[in-house]
Amino acid sequence: MDAADEFGIAASAAALHTLKDLAKKPDDEADRAQLANTYTDRLVPERSPGNALYIELRKAPYQICPLCGHRDISTLDHQLPKGKYPLLSVVPINLVPACGICNWLKGEHVPETAGDQTLHPYYDDLSDQQWLFARLKWTENRPPEVTYFIRSPEGAGDVLAVRVFCHFQMLRLAELYGPNAVREMSNIRGILRAMNAAGRHKYLLLAEHSILTDKRAGGHNHWKRALFQALAGDSWYLESGFDQF
C-alpha cells in the first residue's frame, strides 16, 4: 500500500494520528528533503512542471477557504505537513485549498490523538447539523459584542465533537467571526431602522434561512447564519439594541 492509500484510509477513519511511521519514510534524509521540496519547487512556481495541478487543486471545489468559511483561497494547506511527512507533500488528498492565515495557523501541527485533528473538508461533512452558534452580549456601560461558540448536536460522536472544537480553537474562528459579525450588524442597521420589532424579527429569520438553505452562501455552520439566528432571538436587539451597532 502506498502513502496516498494509507492517508486516504486514515483520513476517512479520523485516524491521521496513526500515520507516524510515514514520517520516517523514506529512510534517507536527503530523499526526504528532496520530496518535501518537490511541492515548493515543482508545483507552486508559475512555470514549474506541476503548476497546472497546483492551480487546479486550489480552484476546486470551493469558492472560499473551507477551513474558516470566510477568507479567499490563496494557497494549498497540507493536512499533514510536508516538512514532517515528505511522502505526502504532493499527494492531492493531503492538499486542501485554504487561505493564507488558516495555512499559517495550522503550521506544522501533527495530531497526537484522534481528537487532536482539524477537520478535513474532503472527509468531514458537517453540512447536515449545526455546530456553530453565536451569542449577543450586552451589559451596562460596555459596548455590546458577539461571541461564537461550538455546541455538539445531540447524538454526535465524541471524537468528532472534540475535533470540531480543536478546529475552532486552532484556527481562532471566534476571533475571526466576532468582529465580522459587528461589521455585518452595522451594515444592516439602516435596513432595520425602517422596520418595527416584528419586521426586524422576520427579516433576520429570512436572512438566516437564505444562508441555511444555500450551501454556496454558507449552510448550517456559516458565521452569518449563527449571527442572524442569535439576533432574531434577542428581544433587546429587536426593540432598540440594533441601533447600538
**pLDDT 10s digits, 149-195:** 999 988 788 999 999 999 999 999 999 999 999 999 999 999 999 99
* 3-class DSSP assignment, residue 210: helix
Q: pTM of the prediction?
A: 0.91
Whole-angstrom distance, CA of residue 145 vs CA of residue 90: 42
User: Could you tell me whether strands 75-78 and 95-98 are parallel, antiparallel, or unpaired per DSSP bridges?
Assistant: antiparallel
Residue 71: its pLDDT value, please?
Answer: 94
Q: Which of 140, 151, 173, 161 is nearest to 71 (CA)?
A: 173
- Rounded to 10°, the helix 223-232/197-213 angle is 150
Scored b (16 or more CB within 10 A) or e, 32-52 reads beebbeebeeebeeeebebee
Q: Quick check: bond before 61 cis, omega within 30?
A: yes
Q: Which of 213, 234, 37 is nearest to 135 (CA)?
A: 234
For 101, half-sphere exposure in the C-beta direction (CA atoms, 13 angstrom radius) is 14
For 211, half-sphere exposure in the C-beta direction (CA atoms, 13 angstrom radius) is 18
Q: Which three cell numbers stand for residue 114?
A: 484522534
**pLDDT 10s digits, 13-57:** 999 999 999 888 888 888 888 888 889 998 899 888 889 989 999
**pLDDT 10s digits, 85-124:** 999 999 999 999 999 999 999 999 999 999 999 999 999 9
Burial class (CB in 10 A: 0-12, 13-18, 19+), 1: exposed
